[in-house]
Amino acid sequence: MENENSKTKKLFPLELLQAPGNKGKGLSEDEILQKKTLIRELLLDYKITTNEIEIKKGPSVSLYRVSISSKTRRSAINKLLSDPPMGLESQNARIMTDIGHGVIEIELPNEFREQVLMSEALSSDEYLNSDFALPCVIGKSYDGYTVLDLTKMPHILIGGVTGQGKTTCINAIISSLLYSKLPSELKFVLIDPKKVEFEAYNLINNAYFHKLPGVESIIPADSGEVVTALNALCDEMDARYELLKATGCRNISEYNEKIKMGQHASVEESSIMPYIAVIIDEFADIIFTSDREFEEPIGKLAALSRCVGIHLIISTQRPSFSVITGTIKSNFPARIAFRACSGIDSLTILDFHGAENLIGNGDMLFSSSGLDPIRVQGANIEEAEVKAVVEYLNDQGNLV
């Protein structure tokens, strides 16, 4: 099932997903000219003279890189940043500066959005040719498709108001992993206090779900079972560390490589250690019902589970400081923010403003330590597509 022209497996046909069709009108040349004229006029009011304006086209938001005159005063740029013109604020613009290169960068929404299809995202070079252990495509920006390696994140925090794309983003991540990872390589622990978001994945629980001692539900939802599941994951983590110690390995990838090469005669090849993706859909609901019982195992997993291949993805529509605590923020350097209610919520999720000005419907900001934030239009995957993928995988009795 390997694709000769890629570095990833293809475990289900992309025909199961929505075929490329009428994705939307996208950015026209007329709109580009209008936006460039608007930018020049507005910046001139701040006594900022513009030279060339380069554009990077995105599916929903495009980046205008404005080269400015070397005679421009820094005070003019500071005024632009602190008090942007209404002509840009009304368009949900995001303004950034690269003073060293004499550039002002302005993100402006396109008049017509271009839909990002999951089928195209999974067939992109960025996804297929990545060397990532756990490749997850979340969408497309003006620099191409955005693909993350979950093992490098090592955990992801997703926040934003309801209805803006959080669940779709999670489904895109899960589908990315299912497309390239066999059950022997990857297991899931899905936690859903709302009891509705992950129901479609029940069909593949025997193959892809990690069974936890003391947890009867396929997808834990009640606070008591959630706490039991997380404590069981902590026990799993401790057992994996003992196994690494016994085999003289520093992390999961080194361990699995030694097992595959038969360098530990006492350990069978079937003992390859699968990665575990732990996905919690509404983090706040659990915190409010289980209080500190939940906080301790989450903190332990977030701080210590990376080396043994356990990675957390948590999502919340209530990004308050009581939900996203200091422990969470320090151990979740990878953040995805959808539209937030306020600048304070944006600060809570990302540590900077901007999410309050997103345009919704999958528009997100991705931030990770050491990297500049990226504006991404989320890959769209419908519920019917998820069901088609899950039913196909369920029918493949030879997946191991």
Is the pLDDT higher at 112 or at 174? 174
Is the pLDDT higher at 2 or at 29? 29
The CATH number given to whatever domain includes residue 78 is 3.30.980.40
Confidence check: pLDDT of 238 > 80: yes
Q: Does some domain include residue 289?
A: yes
Q: What does the pLDDT read at residue 371?
A: 81
Band the pLDDT of 265: cuts 50, 70, 90.
low
Q: Are residues 169 and 128 in the same domain?
A: yes
Which of these, 278, 12, 9, lies nearest to 130 by C-alpha position? 9
Is the pLDDT higher at 9 or at 164? 164
Q: Are residues 284 and 384 in the same domain?
A: yes
- Choosing from 109, 139, 161, the residue where a domain stops is 109
- Choosing from 44, 74, 109, the residue where a domain stops is 109
Confidence check: pLDDT of 268 > 60: no
Average pLDDT, the chain: 90
Query: How far apart are alpha carbons 61 and 375 in whole angstroms?
Result: 8
Q: Are residues 258 and 283 in the same domain?
A: yes
Q: Are residues 154 and 62 in the same domain?
A: no
Q: Are residues 99 and 173 in the same domain?
A: no
Q: Are residues 205 and 60 in the same domain?
A: no
Confidence check: pLDDT of 26 > 80: no
Query: How far apart are alpha carbons 312 and 211 in whole angstroms?
Result: 16
Q: Are residues 47 and 164 in the same domain?
A: no
- Choosing from 59, 76, 109, the residue where a domain stops is 109
Query: How far apart are alpha carbons 224 and 227 in whole angstroms?
Result: 5
Q: Are residues 179 and 315 in the same domain?
A: yes
Averaged pLDDT, 79-98? 88
**Strand 135-141 vs strand 186-191: parallel, antiparallel, or unpaired?**
unpaired
Averaged pLDDT, 254-274? 75
Q: What is the DSSP letter of 282?
A: -
Q: Tell me how many domains the chain contains.
A: 2
Q: Are residues 33 and 170 in the same domain?
A: no
Averaged pLDDT, 5-28? 79
Q: Does some domain include residue 14?
A: no
Band the pLDDT of 260: cuts 50, 70, 90.
confident
Averaged pLDDT, 38-52? 94
* Longest CA–CA separation in the chain, Å: 74
Confidence check: pLDDT of 295 > 90: no
Q: What does the pLDDT read at residue 267?
A: 55
Q: Does some domain include residue 125?
A: yes
Q: What does the pLDDT read at residue 367?
A: 95
Q: Does some domain include residue 18?
A: no
Tokens of 229: 């599941």
Alpha helices in the chain, H assignment, sequence order:
29-44, 74-82, 86-89, 118-122, 125-128, 166-180, 205-208, 223-247, 252-260, 283-290, 292-304, 326-331, 343-350, 383-395
pLDDT tens figures, 274-283: 999 999 998 8
pLDDT tens figures, 303-342: 999 999 999 999 998 887 778 888 888 899 999 999 999 9
Q: Are residues 218 and 96 in the same domain?
A: no
Q: By residue range, what is the domain housing residue 245?
A: 118-395
Confidence check: pLDDT of 70 > 70: yes
Q: Are residues 174 and 312 in the same domain?
A: yes
Q: Are residues 102 and 172 in the same domain?
A: no
Query: How far apart are alpha carbons 335 and 214 in whole angstroms?
Result: 31
Strands lying side by side in the sheet with 103-109:
50-56, 61-68, 103-109, 94-98
Averaged pLDDT, 95-104? 90
Averaged pLDDT, 78-107? 89
Q: What is the pTM of this model?
A: 0.92
The CATH number given to whatever domain includes residue 334 is 3.40.50.300
Confidence check: pLDDT of 361 > 70: yes
